[in-house]
Structure 1
Amino acid sequence: MEVDTNDEYFTSYENLEIHEIMLTDTARNEAYRKAITTNSSLFNGKVVLDVGSGTGILSIFAAQAGASQVFAVEASNLAKLSQEIIKENNFENVIKVFNCRIEDFQLPESVDKVDIIISEWMGFYLLHEGMLDSVLLARDRFLKPGGLLFPDRAILYCSPCNLPTHFDNWDNVSGVKMSKYAECLRKQKSSKPEIINIDKDCLIADDIVIAFLDLSDISTTELNRIDFNEVIIARKSGKFQGLCIWFDVLFPCGDDNEEEVILSTHPQAQSTHWKQTIIPLPSNIETFEPLDPIAFKLIVQRNPENSRHYHLLLEILDAMSDDVQHPLPCECHMTKCILTKAHLANMTDSNGFENA
């Protein structure tokens, strides 16, 4: 009998240890709490839908912010426990739990649409688990025109990095060289991304945006494949040993709240359970110096056999090749880029744009 990957996915969330990891993620919890409760003007008296509500913590935040009704939709059997947690916090008259998939959910007849959708849908490298599809389905079926999503934007970033734990630390293991072992280990690891925390000093270039997702209008089709092909400029000396990928999500901000809440998984931000996603290279490409160009192509593609998983395909390119297009202007040290940048600057000066 063929296994339903959706059933397998939802059953996995009945494991309380998974929720223990999320509930002890202070950065995650506080970002959602702050985004919701400090924007009480957006929630007061509103109808809220919590997609994939889990233990119900986001639903409780919404109730604390003054929501009049919260519909907490949870497909796993954790829904039963969340009812007890909601009652424990005295919000059973505000929050109603529905033990079903969002695809099978129907709003009560007394409610036409909801004002706000909240969800913690992010997976590793943002898209793993494919839960954003469910949020977008809920948006299209249940959200009022002009309604809000928490979060409502997401940004996927990357940067070339060095990985001393994969390369340099194997030169001496209790007085024994293990470079050949490390080489075989990297080949094994390069076939599957790693989820680890890396030090911000390991990044050798600025943050580069792979994709910006506006949840108010993005479609699930657009999530099937993201292509990124770029020349990045090294900002410091370092060995190109892997690619680091992380994300930020951003929340709406009411008129009475000047501070926008951002939940970041950047290496320099407070650590989260998402950590960073690393694609280690099988071997060093080379050591880069400041203003050296680094070229690569990254494809983030949905697995056709399991829509909740993605393939990450990384190809290293020759930045010196005429076939590789540099950005305009480009800050690298290549002669053609220096001349192009000077030419563009002269055109700006001659047209008086600086004084416009």
Structure 2
Amino acid sequence: MGSTSEAAAVDKRVDFANYFCTYGFLYHQKEMLCDRVRMDAYFNAVFQNKHHFVDKTVLDVGAGSGILAIWSAQAGAKKVYAVEATKMAEHARQLVEANNLHNVVEVIEGSVEDVDLPEKVDVIISEWMGYFLLRESMFDSVICARDRWLKPNGVMYPSHARMWMAPIRSGLVDQQMKDYEESVDDWDCFINETKCYYGVDMSVLTKPYTEEQRKYYLETSIWRNLHPNQIIGTTVVIKEIDCLKATVNDIRTVHASFSSSITAENSRLCGFAGWFDVHFRGSNTNPAQQEIELTTTPSEDYGTHWGQQVFLLHPPPRVQQGDDLIVNFSMCRSKENHRLMEIDLSYEMKQSGKLLPPVKNKIFIE
């Protein structure tokens, strides 16, 4: 039997293969660097709050291409440690050299949990947010860095985060059901052809195949940039995070019970959308001079690469303006992969003062 340390090493290699390796490709970095909402928010947060950076020491967690480390140096930091777990660190090092900042920015290839810095830092900057904020669980690494390396009066960039939800209407609910039904029909044809041409009856696999397809098409959330008019009810904050104080246990699960009133006339409740925003406020003792917000709310003109996570309902009920929804939401990490999420979502609807039976859904963020 292998030792605990050996098992941990295997887990780390698997995690790298499943997660970190994606960020080692320039095409993936380019997608994020082309997100103007993302880029403008971080750029403005740094350069409109130079007092947090001038002559300060900065740690960039998950530095990627190194853009945040470079901005920190350009804003006046005396030393920036850019920690990146993938081979993207080599590209970041090249960018730092090309921008003549190698005397300020030190790129370190490795995970922030393992590296050793020679000093504490005044600022931790990181773009750690995943789909619906917490997918990918990268904030764990930021918390680790904060607890190890941030000075008592240091600041976090971003400093605060919120998760939002709202009821929506969308043609996606019909499309996903259609795709699911076509997939099941195709399996039936496959069963018949395999038995006819090759003499093997594979019908014993029909149930697991159907369950697999149901999870994929009907129980897995979908990424979309929604239009604001697809929101059909009041929006609600379901989680608030103070990045200076939050612990891993605080974000390991998210539980929320909330109410939302339908604002659209005669619509279908096709599901719920989830999104997030983050804020650059500094701290109570060291506030930002100019607070900056980065939001991924549904927008007609300012979509982001995060978009929104759409949790569809099958079948979608009809709703009227003034109907009230009472929603229970629970999100936890997948047992198979801690960077993915499992969601239990149930709701009750009050129509014309009458409370209808509750509806429960299991949904995955993969």
TM-score range, shorter chain: 0.7 to 0.9
Matched-pair contact (CA < 8 Å) for 1:157–1:247: yes
1:228-262 per-position Cα deviation (integer Å, ceiling 9, x unaligned): 12221112222100110000000025989754210
Matched-pair contact (CA < 8 Å) for 1:40–1:65: yes
Percent of aligned positions that are identical: 32
How many Å separate the matches in 2 of 1:187 and 1:170? Answer: 11
Q: Give the deviation of 1:156 after TM superposition.
A: 0.2
How many Å separate the matches in 1 of 2:112 and 2:325? Answer: 43
How many Å separate the matches in 2 of 1:194 and 1:178? Answer: 14
Aligned partner of 1:339 in structure 2 is: none
Q: Return the match for 2:312 from 280, 287, 291.
A: 280
Q: Give the deviation of 1:19 after TM superposition.
A: 0.6
Matched-pair contact (CA < 8 Å) for 1:51–1:72: yes
How many Å separate the matches in 1 of 2:241 and 2:14? Answer: 26
TM-score, scaled relative to structure 1: 0.81
| Secondary structure of the corresponding residue to residue 101 of structure 2 | coil
Aligned partner of 1:231 in structure 2 is: 259
1:263-303 per-position Cα deviation (integer Å, ceiling 9, x unaligned): 000002611100110011111122x2222101222111112
| Residues 301 and 82 of structure 1: CA distance in aligned 2, closer, same or farther (over 3 Å) | same
Aligned partner of 2:196 in structure 1 is: none
| Secondary structure of the corresponding residue to residue 65 of structure 2 | coil
How many Å separate the matches in 2 of 1:262 and 1:74? Answer: 25
Aligned partner of 1:49 in structure 2 is: 59
1:23-66 per-position Cα deviation (integer Å, ceiling 9, x unaligned): 11111111101000111111100000000000000001101110
Q: Return the match for 2:148 from 122, 131, 141.
A: 141
Aligned partner of 1:16 in structure 2 is: 26
Q: Give the deviation of 1:199 after TM superposition.
A: 0.9
Q: Does 1:131 align with 2:101?
A: no
Q: Give the deviation of 1:180 after TM superposition.
A: 6.4
Q: Give the deviation of 1:201 after TM superposition.
A: 0.2
Higher strand share: 2
TM-score, scaled relative to structure 2: 0.79
| Residues 243 and 322 of structure 1: CA distance in aligned 2, closer, same or farther (over 3 Å) | closer
Matched residue type, 1:274: W
Where does the alignment leave 5 or more consecutive residues of structure 1 unmatched? 172-176, 325-356
Matched-pair contact (CA < 8 Å) for 2:41–2:294: yes
Q: Does 1:314 align with 2:353?
A: no
Matched-pair contact (CA < 8 Å) for 2:170–2:270: yes
| Residues 181 and 306 of structure 1: CA distance in aligned 2, closer, same or farther (over 3 Å) | closer
Aligned partner of 2:15 in structure 1 is: 6
Matched-pair contact (CA < 8 Å) for 2:49–2:289: no
Matched residue type, 2:133: L
Q: Give the deviation of 1:181 after TM superposition.
A: 5.4
How many Å separate the matches in 2 of 1:182 and 1:285? Answer: 24
Aligned partner of 1:338 in structure 2 is: none
Matched-pair contact (CA < 8 Å) for 2:45–2:290: no
Aligned partner of 1:174 in structure 2 is: none
Q: Give the deviation of 1:189 after TM superposition.
A: 2.6
Matched residue type, 1:248: D
| Residues 148 and 231 of structure 1: CA distance in aligned 2, closer, same or farther (over 3 Å) | same
1:309-341 per-position Cα deviation (integer Å, ceiling 9, x unaligned): 2112222324444999xxxxxxxxxxxxxxxxx
| Residues 303 and 188 of structure 1: CA distance in aligned 2, closer, same or farther (over 3 Å) | closer
1:146-195 per-position Cα deviation (integer Å, ceiling 9, x unaligned): 2100001000000000012433x799xxxxx9996599998753311101
Q: 1:94-243 alignment to 2 at 5 Å?
A: 94-108=104-118, 111=119, 113-167=120-174, 188-237=216-265, 238-243=267-272
How many Å separate the matches in 2 of 1:309 and 1:178? Answer: 24
Question: Cα RMSD over matched residues?
Answer: 2.8
Q: Does 1:304 align with 2:335?
A: yes
Aligned partner of 1:352 in structure 2 is: none
Higher helix share: 2
Q: Give the deviation of 1:77 after TM superposition.
A: 0.8
| Secondary structure of the corresponding residue to residue 302 of structure 2 | coil
How many Å separate the matches in 1 of 2:149 and 2:256? Answer: 33
Matched-pair contact (CA < 8 Å) for 2:180–2:217: no
| Secondary structure of the corresponding residue to residue 272 of structure 1 | coil
Matched-pair contact (CA < 8 Å) for 1:265–1:274: yes
Where does the alignment leave 5 or more consecutive residues of structure 2 unmatched? 1-6, 186-212, 359-366
Matched-pair contact (CA < 8 Å) for 1:253–1:259: no
Q: Does 1:250 align with 2:257?
A: no
| Number of aligned residues | 314
